[in-house]
Amino acid sequence: MELHDLISDMRVVTVSGAHKGVGKTVLAELILHTLSGFAAIKITMSSVYTSVSDREEEIMVPEKDTFRMKRSGAEKVVWVRATERLLLEAMEKALTMIGKPKGLLIEGNSILKHLTPTIAFFVIDSTIEHMKPSRISALKKADVCVVNQRDGTSISRETLQKVKSINPKMKIFSFDLFSANRRENEDVKNIIKYLKKII
């Protein structure tokens, strides 16, 4: 069975980002709090081995991304660790493990080479220098770009222009993803409205 057959009737939200620690999982938590009945798949790319797990002792490790997804309301969480060559095979296995959720959130960049989600998010911060090709490819497919204004830092006009030149069609929202009161931000409220409208 092909990947698109396994997700053809499912709402799929992807969360990708410019680099590690940019705020992908925080955005995933916000989305999972908003959309009930969703499962989640966390993808970690590996150069060495491939594994697919939904085992509680691996998923529910405090402060791991998978733990945070589950705590944010994901009905089921599967962790895919895969080499580029075996990613599709690993994803097909993961999709057989999630049951029949209302929808699916996938955190990872490389998966966007293999599917077109219902809505694709991409997270950046003040810099987008030295992005890997898989991340630029994910940015090109994004519907929404979230500029993470950590501690109030803003993105330069040049960086914003570069982002827009890579993908001029996407919507752009800016706020501090790590702020405790982020739900009060107008852009967050607008993202939630946008999500509910599309999903």
The residue ranges of the chain whose pLDDT is under 50 are 1
Strands (E) located in 46-136: 51-53, 77-82, 103-107, 119-124
Give, in words, the CATH class of 11-198: alpha beta
Q: What's the pLDDT at 140?
A: 96
Q: What's the pLDDT at 156?
A: 86
Every domain of the chain and the residues it spans:
11-198
CB 16 within 8 A of CB 108: yes
99: left (phi over 0), alpha (psi -120 to 50) or beta: left
Q: What's the pLDDT at 2?
A: 61
Type of residue at 59: I
Q: Round to whole Å and give the CA distance between 16 and 191.
A: 16
pLDDT digits (tens, 9 = 90+) for 40-62: 999 999 999 899 999 999 999 99
Q: What's the pLDDT at 22?
A: 93
Type of residue at 130: H
Q: Indicate the burial class of 107 (C-beta count within 10 angstroms; 0-12, 13-18, 19 or more).
A: buried
Which pTM was predicted? 0.94
